Amino acid sequence: MFPFRGLLGGQKALVTGASSGIGRAVALALAEAGADVVVNFIGSSEAADEVVSAIQTIGSKAIPILADVSQEAQVQTMFKRAIEEFGTVDILVNNAGIQSNAPVDGMTIGQWNSVIATNLTGQFLCAREAIREFKRRGVVSTVSVSAGKIICISSVHEAIPWAGHVNYAASKGGVMLLMKSIAQEVAALKIRVNSICPGAIRTPMNESAWENREAYNALMPLIPYKRIGEPEEIGRLAAFLASDYADYITGTSVYVDGGMMLYPGFESGG
Ligand code: NAD
């Protein structure tokens, strides 16, 4: 049985990049907890439609909305539509993200800009619209003790440097202080902002790290707990952080990484 069933009843969530991987699992977990969910996606609608159907099967409402989170006008239109359809937004999960890897001296300005635009600017644009709505509506005590919740999907790479991925690591390092600064700014308004920092999770983004036994084994020295994480493990934490059980948690990064942050190179001495 899902541990948070009913906890988010009456709440409206918007999950970016919700048609695959972690975003999909988060959307389903929020729905299991009782929230209605906007399934944001980019590209073809097939996968988003599947997530919408799965949410409806659970018993919550869902709508797919196509929008590129790096584009201001598209983000504004998405929130306008979400509020028209659902009346408000109580929970934003800033999940959409990309990688475009290259050695630093071979990285193009296009690779740099696209990753910063989606992973960092996209989180700012969505957080700004969400906070505008949270401030407009204020606390509705029958729904939640908080006026709104934002969960940023960051990464262990907000703290761990990553050679060959300077654009990605810089974007996630930026998300850390974006999240903390917004949390500080809006705490008095009863708006909570936190990050989930996944380690290695089994999603399309890092398929090369788990698709065969050799790659999987090569990953294990980085993970003291000796297994990859599953998207549902991020979903369950998102449902908890969005709930009033987490009401005293704001401005923090929660790592879900099997111990990747524990300097595994020191496992057998140093
Ligand atoms: P994924 O590729 O399955 O999901 C990313 C989603 O974002 C996709 O659905 C994609 O279509 C969407 N997206 C990309 N650009 C977009 C845009 N401009 N506008 C709207 N949507 C867009 O990979 P994932 O692993 O599920 O990644 C989700 C988040 O988790 C990302 O922010 C990623 O950085 C983070 N993360 C993943 C891992 C991991 O191990 N998988 C680890 C740490 C952090």
Residues with CB under 6 A from ligand 1: 16-17, 19-23, 40, 42-43, 68-70, 95-98, 118, 122, 153, 155, 198, 200-201, 203-206
pLDDT at residue 36 is higher than 80 = yes
Q: CB–CB of 198/257 below 8 Å?
A: yes
Structure confidence by residue, pLDDT tens digits, 72-128: 999 999 999 999 999 999 999 999 999 999 999 999 999 999 999 999 999 999 999
Domain positions in the chain: 12-266
pLDDT computed for residue 260 by the predictor: 98
List, for residues 138-197, the tens digit of each pLDDT value. 999 999 999 999 999 999 999 999 999 999 999 999 999 999 999 999 999 999 999 999
Beta bridge partners of 62: 37
Which one, of 76, 58, 121, 74, lies nearest residue 94 by Cα?
Answer: 121
Measured in Å, residue 29 CA sits from the centre of ligand 1 at 17
Which residues, in sequence order, are bridge partners of residue 64?
A: 39
Distance 265 CA to ligand 1 centre (A): 28
| DSSP H or E stretch at residue 214 | helix 213-219
CATH tag, 12-266: 3.40.50.720
> Token pair 């300077």 is at which residue?
166
Looking at the predicted structure, is the pLDDT value of residue 269 above 90? no
Amino acid at 70: S
Q: What is the pLDDT of residues 224-246, one digit of tens each?
A: 999 999 999 999 999 999 999 99
Q: Which of 43, 40, 44 is nearest to 17 (CA)?
A: 40
Query: Which residues, including other chains, have CB under 8 Å from residue 86's CB and lie 6 or more apart?
Result: 12, 36, 38, 61, 63
**Average of per-residue pLDDT across 11-24:** 98
Predicted confidence at residue 79, as pLDDT, reads: 99
- Distance, first Cα to last Cα, the chain: 43
